[in-house]
Amino acid sequence: MTRFPLRRTNAGRRMRRAGALKSAFTPAAGFFGRFRRQSFAYPYVLWLALFVVIPIILIAVYAFTGADGGFTPGNFSGMMDYAPVFGRSLWLAFLATVICIIIGYPAALAISRMRPRSQRILIVLLMLPMWINFLLRTYAWMSLLENTGLINRLLASLGVFDLINALHAGTPGYAPITHFRLINTDGAVVLGMVYNYLPFMILPIQSVIVKIDPSVIEAAQDLGADSRLVFRKVILPLSLSGVISGVTMVFVPAVSTFVISKLLSNGTVMLLGDLIEMQFTGAAYNPHLGSAISLIMMIIVVICMSVMSRFGEGREQAVRL
Amino acid sequence: MTKKYAGGKLLTALTYIFLYAPIVVLIVFSFNGSKSRTVWSGFTLDWYKELFGDKLIMGSLQTTLLVSVAASAVAAVIGTFAAIGFYSMKKRWRGPLLTINNIPVINADIITGVSLSLLFVSAGAVLNFELGFGTLLLAHISFDIPYVILSVMPKLYQLDRNLFEAAQDLGCTWFQTVYKVVIPEILPGIINGLLIAFTMSVDDFVVSYFTAGSSVQTLSMTIYAMTRRRISPKINAISTLLFAVVLILLVVVNMREARQHKAEMKKANALKGELE
């Protein structure tokens, strides 16, 4: 009896009348409670300023200064030379993102239609490869794609190359082939991107589709929609936010990677990431140029993201795998 | 409908084959008799034996574990307090701060790495320190905290606000309210955030690469250095071991969850029976 009606005591009533309850927490603590708890974040606010805001400002500062420390726009003047690198990076990342949607969406849809138990197992299996170091996963593709790698060996033992050579036997100037050139191509780099980032496309789409209220689908069916129309008018629009968070989670790392291109093209396919990495490590050390390129890449990414976020929101759940 | 369903299942199966094929290759060749990564020449466990004698690999594994444990633990503490602070703030402040908090999550790894390396190099020039374990740890903590906050915040919003009132009405000080009422309620979110942060730290290569300097190496950095030359199957061996550890952990956790779920269902059914 004494426990239950505490809020009905005179003190409580007086507090409420004073408007103290408006504060997020208790009438007793009032303003001071909020103020104190808010101060829990102050160390981290300082941390954010020091380790997130200042470093980004530093990139901008380095981008607009020369080696002597004076202001110069010179870092940007030679940027046109790198236009092919920008173009290639954006194009390959775009291709990888599209392929991830083409493979990932139907897979996510199929997974979300399975029994809850199978779904859980498949989701765990999807995240399991992420526990293997991604350098090693990419490295494993090297053994598959090499000229003397497992795929070419398999094709050779199946007689594929003999067949092709036999077909071209009469052609003048034809040189017999012993392997397909798989590694050190744009295709190999796109494959590496798709392989590494595909789970990031499937996971958000699947989690959004699972949350669709089945009664909405039933309602559509009751109103006479066939399965195709249900997909087009109900499932697809409702799952778009998952696709969007998937796109950002695939595109951003893909456009900025330097490891995948280094491993799967041995430096023959130069991407933005490689260009930046070169400026910060190794012989061509030039952090000013590197910062200028980073700044442009950041702006491109921000533009892409704000265009995407116009289509819907889903960024928060993107992070919560 | 059923035909489409079968098609989806086939595609899912192919997707998983695609995801696991390289891993199977990686594991199989950790038992290969020769150094080749494409020609099979008999079964051996030599690489596993050599692995434990390799000072470079073992040292970098140690660095990775040390950095990941320390960074995720510190991030869990700072992140939890920061989340409670953000939650109590006025929207006017919370909004922009959460946006800044999201920057390391959304930003490309290479930008995070490069910008932190600029900070450490310029601060080091003034304060006279060099890139090393300290800067590596700071970098890891700062990209770990956002994940903790992002997994703690939703839990805070699920809290019943009356709970605080009740606690304080019953005589808790504000500090007691936090550690006796709030923390236990949001603990699943904290643990989840801690695990995500740990995973991110273990798997990270790019940020470490730019912030560790030349004196310290994480496992990822050692592997990267080896791919530039020629990878020894020892690396296959260590990744097989790590994979096995994770697999066993996941199976144990899932089985325990399933058993708990079953027990709860049984209890609920029994209760229902009694009521009827």
Dist. CA B72–CA B141, nearest whole Å: 7
For residue A170, give how far its alpha carbon lies from the nearest alpha carbon of chain B (Å): 33
Of the pLDDT bands very low, low, confident and very high (cuts 50, 70, 90), residue B4 is: low
Mutation for testing the B interface, residue in A31, A136, A230, A248 having most B CBs under 10 Å: A136
Residues 6 or more apart whose Cβ sits within 8 Å of residue B181: B163, B164, B167, B172
Q: Which of A56-60, B9-13, B260-264 has the lowest mean pLDDT?
A: B260-264
User: Which two structure tokens, joined as six digits, stand for B144?
Assistant: 């770990």
pLDDT digits (tens, 9 = 90+) for A267-291: 889 999 999 999 998 778 899 999 9
Mean pLDDT of A166-183: 84
- Choose among A130, A148, A291: nearest Cβ to B203: A130
pLDDT at position A315 over 80: no
pLDDT at position A2 over 80: no
Please state at what angle helix B55-88 crosses helix B219-228, rounded to 10 degrees.
Answer: 130
Query: Which B residues 179-238 touch A at CB under 8 Å?
Result: 196, 199, 203, 205-206, 209-210, 219-220, 223-224, 227, 231, 235-236
Task: Note the pLDDT of residue A78.
Answer: 80
pLDDT digits (tens, 9 = 90+) for B29-68: 899 988 887 788 889 999 999 988 899 989 999 999 999 9
Mutation for testing the A interface, residue in B23, B174, B256 having most A CBs under 10 Å: B174
Which of B263 and B135 is assigned the larger pLDDT? B135
User: Which two structure tokens, joined as six digits, stand for A68?
Assistant: 């002597």
Q: Tell me which chain B residue has its CA closest to the CA of residue A287.
A: B118
* CB pair distance less than 8 Å for A143 and B25: yes
Query: Which A residues 57-86 touch B at CB under 8 Å?
Result: 58-59, 62
Task: Note the pLDDT of residue A6.
Answer: 41
Interface A:B, Cβ pairs < 8 A: 260
* CB pair distance less than 8 Å for A24 and B242: no
pLDDT at position A307 over 90: no
Of the pLDDT bands very low, low, confident and very high (cuts 50, 70, 90), residue A205 is: very high
Residue with tokens 């960074």: B71
Chain A residues within 8 A of B118 when measuring between CB atoms:
55, 58-59, 62, 287, 291
Predicted ipTM of the assembly: 0.85
Specify whether the CB–CB gap between A276 and A75 falls below 8 A. Answer: no
- Choose among A26, A195, A290: nearest Cβ to B164: A26
Task: Note the pLDDT of residue A159.
Answer: 87
Q: Tell me which chain A residue has its CA closest to the CA of residue B64.
A: A133
Q: Tell me which chain A residue has its CA closest to the CA of residue B246.
A: A131
Chain A residues within 8 A of B146 when measuring between CB atoms:
319
Chain A contact present for B118, CB below 8 A: yes
Dist. CA B255–CA A124, nearest whole Å: 13
Q: Which is it for the CA torsion B39, B43, B45, B50, positive or negative? A: negative
User: Which two structure tokens, joined as six digits, stand for A96?
Assistant: 């990888």
Highest mean pLDDT among A127-141, A171-185, A233-247: A233-247
The overall pTM is greater than 0.90:
no
The three-state (H, E, C) secondary structure of chain A, written as one string: CCCHHHHHCHHHHHHHHCCHHHCCCCCCCHHHHHHHHHHHHHHHHHHHHHHHHHHHHHHHHHHCECCCCCECCHHHHHHHHHHHHHHHHHHHHHHHHHHHHHHHHHHHHHHHCCCHHHHHHHHHHHHHHHHCCHHHHHHHHHHHHCCCCHHHHHHHHCCHHHHHHHHCCCCCCCCCCCCCCCCCCHHHHHHHHHHHHHHHHHHHHHHHHHCCCHHHHHHHHHCCCCHHHHHHHHHHHHHHHHHHHHHHHHHHHHHHCCHHHHHHHCCCCCCHHHHHHHHHCCCCCCHHHHHHHHHHHHHHHHHHHHHHHHCCCCHHHHHCC
Question: Is it true that domain B54-231 has CATH number 3.30.1330.10?
Answer: no
Q: Which CATH superfamily hosts domain A79-146+182-319?
A: MetI-like (1.10.3720.10)
Specify whether the CB–CB gap between B84 and B157 falls below 8 A. Answer: no
* Sequence spans of domains, chain B: 54-231
Cα B190 to chain centroid distance, Å, stands at 13
* Sequence spans of domains, chain A: 4-46, 79-146+182-319
Chain A contact present for B116, CB below 8 A: yes
Q: What residue type is assigned to position A63 of the chain?
A: A
